[in-house]
């Protein structure tokens, strides 16, 4: 009887081994778009980490009580979707400008348009004749 158990155990171990080894592997082709997306995310991640190493950014983060190295580590742990969202938001933000600067620029343009007689918005601006 012990020989029967040994043979049965050996057969079951061999069966399990071959079942695992012969399991079908699922693989698919990667499209160009997927590869480009992965490369873009890697470049965006590197750009964001490099951004935190700039002196101005490091000073601003430190002034707000954030350690720049902690912020760079956080960017390194972000998911691909978070990196893309953050990069998109950074591209939309004005570079070094504030809302006050934008309002001043619009006001200056409107005054110049009034001065050239294109519009008549401000009564204190006399158009050039």
Dump pLDDT digits (tens) for 15-43. Answer: 666 665 555 666 677 678 888 888 888 88
The pLDDT, as a whole number, for residue 70 is 80
Q: Is-contact 105 97, C-beta < 8 A?
A: no
The pLDDT, as a whole number, for residue 72 is 80
Q: Is-contact 85 71, C-beta < 8 A?
A: no
Q: For residue 4, how many other CB atoms are within 10 A of its CB?
A: 8
The pLDDT, as a whole number, for residue 22 is 54
pTM over 0.75: no
Residues of the chain falling short of pLDDT 70: 1, 4-5, 11-12, 14-27, 30, 91-102, 129
């Amino acid at each position: 009887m012990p020989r029967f158990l040994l043979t049965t155990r050996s057969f079951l171990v061999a069966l399990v081994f071959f079942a695992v080894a012969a399991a079908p592997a699922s693989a698919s082709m990667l499209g160009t778009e997927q590869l480009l997306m992965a490369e873009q995310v890697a470049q965006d991640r590197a750009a964001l980490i490099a951004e935190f190493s700039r002196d101005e950014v490091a000073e601003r983060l430190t002034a707000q009580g954030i350690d720049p190295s902690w912020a760079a580590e956080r960017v390194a742990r972000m998911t691909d979707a978070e990196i893309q969202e953050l990069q998109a938001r950074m591209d939309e933000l004005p570079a070094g400008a504030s809302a006050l600067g934008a309002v001043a620029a619009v006001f200056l343009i409107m005054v110049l348009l009034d001065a050239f007689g294109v519009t008549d918005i401000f009564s204190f601006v006399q158009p050039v004749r």
